[in-house]
Amino acid sequence: MKRIAILTSGGDAPGMNAAIRAVTRKAIYDGLEVYGINYGFAGLVAGDIRKLEIADVGDKVQRGGTFLYSARYPEFATVEGQLKGIEQLKKFGIEGLVVIGGDGSYHGAMALTKHGFPAVGIPGTIDNDIPGTDFTIGFDTAINTVLESIDRIRDTATSHVRTFIIEVMGRNAGDIALWAGVAGGADDIIIPEHEFDMASVAKKIKEGRDRGKKHCLIVLAEGVMGGNDFADKLAEYGDFHARVSVLGHVVRGGSPSARDRVLASKFGWKAVELLKENKGGLCIGIRDNEIVATDIVDTLENGKHHPDLSLYTLNQEISF
């Protein structure tokens, strides 16, 4: 194929710009034309599409967010929306599409594939919850941002002998809480993929206090419950001078880490290699440090993301 397009969709993630840059530059290097679609699938249906030149992706590799903008667009779940999208792609003479995003975006790419339009998915979400890959673009930056907050919160927690419940994003996945929690020395990590017992959480805090421990940090994944609800339930077991910190969207912004920029560059490069050979209906990932491409329908319908639960066990045994 000779003309491809790229869009970013769903929640933005640091490193998306690096991926757009890689797709654009690699495509131009290989003699293809590249079009950028603004506002994800919403922009696709609206025909908000323009040609990208070499300079359009200059000075972008270090920027957070996505310069193509993003949107949540549930209308693309309808056949009507999907066919309108394909009509726009054809109007611009576009033969293949790169979709960077999370779960919802992948479903959009899968729908295009099912209608016979070649699409390739690149996993871009801070949540790290996409099947077919060990890591997603944005996850590394996000856990480092959470870690910086945990370190800061620890200072004030120690000064006041307080317990902090630090609520982090992740949708239904506990990866962000797990990785940042282990790195930050959290006393407890509460995630959707592992049950927890509030009485044991309270007992651990009390035992720490009795030994003279000054701070207690609990990292809570939003998929379990909100931080304030958790604090209310914890209060039923005693007064632990608890405070709640909801990190929220702060974790979605910021300059991407080196690891995310490299991952994004590898994914973008690979997407063009595939489309150049007219290969669509695939999603790209990294598995055991190898860049892989798997069938998008099979990956979404049969694959499942699993967080590294060995981190959970490890934390239980080294953090108290």
**Overall size of the chain counted in residues:** 320
* Shortest distance, position 174 Cβ to ligand F6P, whole Å: 11
* Shortest distance, position 208 Cβ to ligand F6P, whole Å: 29
Binding-site member from 16, 61, 86, 126 for ligand F6P (CB under 6 A): 126
153 — phi, psi (to 5°)?
Answer: -65, -35
Which contiguous run of DSSP H or E holds residue 221?
A: strand 216-221
- String of contacts with ligand F6P for each residue 87-106, x by CB under 6 A: ---------------x----
DSSP assigned state of 130: -
Which residues fall within 8 angstroms of residue 101, CB to CB, at 6 or more apart? Answer: 8, 9, 10, 11, 40, 70, 108, 121, 122, 123, 124, 125
Q: Is 140 a catalytic residue?
A: no
Of the candidates 30, 48, 59, 127, the residue annotated as catalytic is 127
- Identify which of residues 33 and 127 has a Cβ nearer to ligand F6P in the complex: 127
Give CA–CA dist 75/70, Å, rounded.
Answer: 14
Which residues fall within 8 angstroms of residue 268, CB to CB, at 6 or more apart? Answer: 18, 19, 20, 21, 22, 23, 26, 98, 122
Residue 2 lies near ligand F6P (rule: CB under 6 A): no
* Shortest distance, position 16 Cβ to ligand F6P, whole Å: 12
Q: Which residue has the tokens 């009507």?
A: 80
Does the annotation flag 317 for ligand binding? no
Question: Which residues form the interface with ligand F6P (CB under 6 A)?
Answer: 11, 72, 102, 125-127, 169-171, 222, 252
Residues flagged as binding site for ADP: 21-25, 154, 185-187, 211, 213-215
Annotated catalytic sites, by residue?
127
Residues flagged as binding site: 11, 21-25, 72-73, 102-105, 125-127, 154, 162, 169-171, 185-187, 211, 213-215, 222, 243, 249-252
